[in-house]
Structure 1
Amino acid sequence: MRKLVVIPAYNEANNLEAVIADIQVHAPTFDYIIVNDCSTDHTRQLCEEKGYSVLHLPYNLGIGGAVQAGYLFAERYDYDLAIQFDGDGQHDASYLDALVDAQLESGADMVIGSRFIDKQGFQSTRMRKLGIRFLSSLIALLCQRRIYDVTSGMRLVNRQVIQDFCAYYPSDYPEPETLALILRRGYKVLEVPVKMRARQQGRSSITPLRSVYYMVKVTLAIFIDALKPNA
């Protein structure tokens, strides 16, 4: 089984060394690809100096475009599983095998690393947790399935979902929207408990103002998708 870790990175030069070391130590059977989303810091220089496996995008596409580029890479090079993994140091590579084991045991099409099952480790800010609960309830209402950590960026998908995501993937804040999409299409989704860390260095791209945009945009996108006929 070929397993690829997709690491979208925009200005994460101060975090990537620790992220890659974590994967190499705790998940040595996984390949990885850093998707450098046209960073303006020294991400490109770092990756080239360290000899990291990296895909440099010529334009900034945002988180959705960067992740989709990783899925296109996974499809082209015939990977069985692809695991999205943040480049900011929040995710713990020691859980990657647990995600794969859960997929093999359950046959799930997507396995989500969830902060909110055991409620250990970094739990996000109070305002973001309220937003996550709202989106979780919205998806449960429309898709008849409760997923607790709907914004988790630690997600494993199988070959079929890789192909679907190559065909369509939202450009920004894609996790809740794509989750609602695959639930509506009848894919099996599983959550497993993980611990996450706070961002190691740098700032999140989601400012308070962008959080408002995020909630409005994602809510509308999920409602619009729910009105479409099943593909």
Structure 2
Amino acid sequence: MKKVLVIIPAYNEEEAIYSTVSKLKSSSEFDYVVINDGSTDGTKAILDQFNLNYLDLPINLGIGGAMQTGYKFALRNNYDFAIQLDADGQHDPTEISHLISEIQGSAYDMIIGSRFVEESSYKGSKTRRIGIYYFYYLLRILTGIKVTDPTSGYRIVNRKIINEFAKRYPVDYPEVEVIVDLTKKKYKIKEVKVEMKNRQGGVSSITPIKSIYYMFKVSFFSLIRRVF
């Protein structure tokens, strides 16, 4: 049986973290670790209260730093696969077995859970959809591959990618940039359909102004990764 680690990055997720971990534990027996990314609310208190598995970062490193911490943990503890599961409840833990079945025994190095590769119930805001379409076409230009849901964080990677991500992982907004980087290195990526929900608690840290910054920064660094 392959060893699987579910990595849950969490920053100020007191409203959703317990529910997210409870649903994960009730739907699978895979190991998990919450990366408490310098939360300033009651997230750490909840993790302690319910004796949940977590690593505590003393300062907020952002999603990239939190995930790289998880990948380093996975590498040191010899996990074969690592899965990102967002703490806000958007990702359905029952889909994990689907992601594992798609990557086990296959030639793929990363499987992305997509809301758009097939029709799903997810709608999302107009602004978010515009951003997703923008990055879809950016990836087509830079890599030649089709990724319908390039901003999806619901992903599983094999040990080769765990090793890559433990060494280097973008600090923030990493989803698109890592696709460019992995494609350049000839790793194989595939999308499969998953169902996702709206955020189950808390507030997204991505404001309209940050969205513009996000698109500019990701575009710039993706281009750099592709060229150099």
When normalised by structure 1's length, the TM-score is 0.96
The 8 Å contact of residues 37 and 56 in structure 1, kept in 2 or not, is answered as yes
What amino acid sits opposite 1:11 in the alignment? N
Alpha-carbon distance, 1:27 to partner = 1.7
Partners of 2:141 and 2:105 lie apart in 1 by: 28
| Alignment partner, residue 5 of structure 1 | 6
How many residue pairs are counted as aligned between the two chains?
Answer: 227
Structure 1 residue aligned with 2:97:
97
Q: Where do 1:183-202 residues align within 5 Å?
A: 183-202=183-202
Does structure 1 residue 15 correspond to structure 2 residue 16?
Answer: yes
2:68 alignment partner in structure 1: 68
**1:39 to partner: Cα distance:** 0.2
Q: Which residue of 2 aligns with 1:81?
A: 81
Deviation at 1:105, TM superposition (A): 4.5
- The equivalent of 1:27 in structure 2 is 28
- Secondary structure of the residue aligned to 1:13 is coil
Q: Distance in 1 between matches of 2:147 and 2:106?
A: 16
Q: 1:184 and 1:220 mapped to 2: Cα distance?
A: 16
Match of 1:158 in 2: 158
Percent identity between matched residues is 42
Letter in 1 for 2:15: N
Residue identity opposite 2:75 in structure 1: E
Q: C-alpha offsets along residues 180-224 of structure 1, whole Å, 9 cap, x if unaligned?
A: 110111111010100100001111011000000000000001111
SS of the aligned residue for 1:112 comes to: strand
Q: Letter of the aligned partner of 1:70 in structure 2?
A: G
Q: Which amino acid aligns with 1:7?
A: I
Backbone CA RMSD of aligned residues: 0.9
CA distance in 2, matches of 1:47, 1:85: 16
- Within-5 A mapping of 1:36-185: 36-185=36-185
**Deviation of residue 51 (structure 1)?**
0.7
TM-score normalised by the chain length of structure 2: 0.97
Structure 1 unmatched ranges of 5 or more: none
Q: Which residue of 2 aligns with 1:226?
A: 226
What whole-Å deviation, never above 9, does each CA across 1:92-137 have from its counterpart, x for those lacking one?
Answer: 0010000000001533100000000223122321111111111111
Residues 123 and 196 in structure 1, CA contact (< 8 A), matched pair in contact too? no
Which residue identity lines up with residue 157 of structure 1 in the other structure?
V
The one-letter amino acid of 1:10's match is Y
SS at match of 1:211: helix
Q: Matches of 2:206 and 2:50 in 1, distance apart? A: 29
- Cα distance in 1 between the residues matched to 2:107 and 2:47: 35
